[in-house]
Amino acid sequence: MTSDTALPPAPGAQAPAPATETQRRWARQHSIGALWETWGITAVLVVLLAASPLLSSDFLTVANLQSVLRESAYLGIVAAAMTLAVMNGTFDLSVGGQLALVSVTTLMGYAAGGTGLAVLVAVITGVACGAVNGALVTAMRVPPFVATLGMLFVFRGIAYVLTQDGPKTLPYSEIGSPFVKIGGLNVAGIPLPFLIMVAFYGAIWVLLRRTATGRRVLAFGSSPEAARFCGISVHRIRMLIFVVIGLSVGIAALTYISRVWTADGSAQDGFELRVIAAVVLGGTSLKGGKGTLIGTFSAVLLVGVLNDLLVSRGVDASYQRVVLGCVLITALAIDGLRTRFAAPGSFAHMLPRRRREAPAR
Amino acid sequence: MTTAAPERGARATAPRARLNRAIESAPLALPLALIAVVLTVATDRFLSVDNLTNVVVAAGIVAIPGLAMTLCIAMGEFDLSVGSTVSLTGAVTCTWIVGGHPAAVAMLVGLLVGAAVGLLNGLVVTKLGVTPFIATLATLVIVRGVSLAYTGGRDAIVSSSTLKFLAAGRVFGVPMPVVLTAVTALAAWWVVNRTRFGRWVCAIGSNREAARMSGLPVDRVRTTVYVIVGVAGGIWGLLISSQLQKGSGQLGLGFELDAITIVVIGGTSLLGGRASVVGTLLGAVLIETIRNGLNLLNTPPAYQRISIGLLLVVALTIQALRRNAPAEALDDV
CB contact under 8 A, B332 and A318: no
Torsions phi, psi of A190, nearest 5?
-100, 130
Number of residues that this document lists for chain B: 333
As a whole number, mean pLDDT of residues A242-256 equals: 96
- Residue A190 DSSP code: E
> If contacts are CB pairs under 8 Å, which of residues 160-219 in chain A contact chain B?
160-161, 164
Alpha-carbon torsion A255, A259, A265, A270, what sign?
negative
CA atoms within 13 A on the CB side of B211: 23
Q: Which of the following CATH numbers is that of domain A66-275+283-333: 1.10.3470, 1.10.238, 3.40.50, 1.10.1760?
A: 1.10.3470
CA distance to partner chain A, nearest, from residue B300 (Å):
8
Among the residue ranges A5-9, A219-223, A335-339, B96-100, the one predicted with the least confidence is A5-9
pLDDT of residue B106: 94
CA distance to partner chain B, nearest, from residue A33 (Å):
17
Q: How many domains does chain B have?
A: 1
CB contact under 8 A, A321 and B133: no
As a whole number, mean pLDDT of residues A205-212 equals: 93
Alpha-carbon torsion B37, B38, B41, B42, what sign?
negative
Mutate to test the interface with A, among B144, B218, B255, B333 (most CBs of A within 10 A): B333
pLDDT of residue A29: 67
Give the ipTM: 0.72
Beta bridge partners of B174: B171
- Are the beta carbons of A143 and B320 closer than 8 angstroms? yes
Question: How many angstroms separate the CA atoms of A246 and A253, rounded?
Answer: 10
Compare all CA atoms of chain B with the CA of A149 and give the residue at the minimum distance: B309
Higher pLDDT among residues A277 and B114, named by residue? B114
CA distance to partner chain A, nearest, from residue B4 (Å):
19
CA distance to partner chain A, nearest, from residue B149 (Å):
5
Mutate to test the interface with A, among B305, B310, B328 (most CBs of A within 10 A): B305
Residues 6+ apart with CB under 8 A from B274: B3, B4, B7, B74, B202, B205, B268
pLDDT of residue B226: 97
pLDDT of residue A300: 94
As a whole number, mean pLDDT of residues A312-321 equals: 80
> If contacts are CB pairs under 8 Å, which of residues 31-60 in chain A contact chain B?
none
Compare all CA atoms of chain B with the CA of A341 and give the residue at the minimum distance: B129
For A168, the 3-state DSSP assignment is strand
CB contact under 8 A, B312 and A149: yes
CB contact under 8 A, B133 and A339: no
CB contact under 8 A, B309 and A146: no
Higher pLDDT among residues B331 and A219, named by residue? A219
Q: What angle do CA A46, A47, A53 make, to 5 degrees?
A: 100
Is B6 domain-assigned?
no
Range of the domain at B61: 26-322
pLDDT of residue A11: 45
- Are the beta carbons of B94 and B211 closer than 8 angstroms? no
Residues of A in contact with B305 (CB under 8 A): 153-154, 156-157, 160, 265
Q: What percent of chain A has pLDDT over 90?
A: 32
CA distance to partner chain B, nearest, from residue A168 (Å):
16
Compare all CA atoms of chain B with the CA of A316 and give the residue at the minimum distance: B149
Compare all CA atoms of chain B with the CA of A276 and give the residue at the minimum distance: B134
Residues of B in contact with A136 (CB under 8 A): 313, 317
Provide the residue ranges of all domains of chain A, joining segments of one domain with +.
66-275+283-333
pLDDT in tens, B19-63: 666 556 566 777 788 888 888 888 888 888 889 999 999 999 999
CA distance to partner chain A, nearest, from residue B84 (Å):
12
Question: How many angstroms separate the CA atoms of A333 and B96, rounded?
Answer: 34
Given a cut of 90, whether residue A322 has pLDDT beyond it is: no
Torsions phi, psi of A187, nearest 5?
-105, 115
CB contact under 8 A, B134 and A286: yes
CA distance to partner chain A, nearest, from residue B255 (Å):
12
pLDDT of residue A342: 52
Q: What percent of chain A has pLDDT over 70?
A: 86
pLDDT of residue A339: 63
When CB atoms are compared, the residue of A142, A161, A321 closest to B141 is: A321
B/e letters for A82-116, b = 16+ CB within 10 Å, e = fewer, are bbbbbbbbbbbbbbbbbbbbbbbbbbbbbeeeebe
CB contact under 8 A, A321 and B145: yes
Is B9 domain-assigned?
no
Between the alpha carbon of residue A235 and those of residues A44, A133, A238, B315, the distances in Å are 37, 12, 5, 21
Question: How many angstroms separate the CA atoms of B94 and B245, rounded?
Answer: 8
Among the residue ranges A198-212, B208-222, B306-320, the one predicted with the least confidence is B306-320
CB contact under 8 A, B313 and A150: yes
As a whole number, mean pLDDT of residues B244-254 equals: 85
pLDDT in tens, B137-194: 889 889 998 999 998 878 888 888 888 888 888 888 889 999 999 999 999 999 999 9
pLDDT of residue B172: 87
> If contacts are CB pairs under 8 Å, which of residues 228-267 in chain A contact chain B?
228, 234, 238, 265
**What letter represents residue A170's amino acid?**
L
Average pLDDT, chain A: 82
CB contact under 8 A, B312 and A224: no
Compare all CA atoms of chain A with the CA of B257 and give the residue at the minimum distance: A149
Residues of A in contact with B131 (CB under 8 A): 280, 286-287, 332, 336
Residues 6+ apart with CB under 8 A from B206: B1, B4, B76, B272, B273
- Are the beta carbons of A153 and A97 closer than 8 angstroms? yes
pLDDT of residue B181: 94
When CB atoms are compared, the residue of A149, A228, A332 closest to B130 is: A332
Question: How many angstroms separate the CA atoms of B9 and A350, rounded?
Answer: 42
pLDDT of residue A346: 42
As a whole number, mean pLDDT of residues A110-127 equals: 93
CB pairs under 8 A between A and B: 173
pLDDT in tens, A134-160: 999 998 888 888 788 889 889 988 998
CA distance to partner chain B, nearest, from residue A246 (Å):
18
- Residue B80 DSSP code: T
Residues of B in contact with A223 (CB under 8 A): none
Question: How many angstroms separate the CA atoms of A158 and B302, rounded?
Answer: 7
How far does chain B reach from its first CA to its final CA, in angstroms? 14
Residues of A in contact with B133 (CB under 8 A): 286
Beta bridge partners of B247: B156
CA atoms within 13 A on the CB side of A276: 25
**How far from the centroid of its chain's Cα atoms is residue A105's Cα?**
24
CATH code where residue B53 lies: 1.10.3470
CB contact under 8 A, B130 and A156: no
pLDDT of residue A250: 96
pLDDT in tens, B178-196: 999 999 999 999 999 999 9
As a whole number, mean pLDDT of residues A100-120 equals: 93
Given a cut of 80, whether residue A293 has pLDDT beyond it is: yes
pLDDT of residue B322: 63
Given a cut of 50, whether residue B269 has pLDDT beyond it is: yes
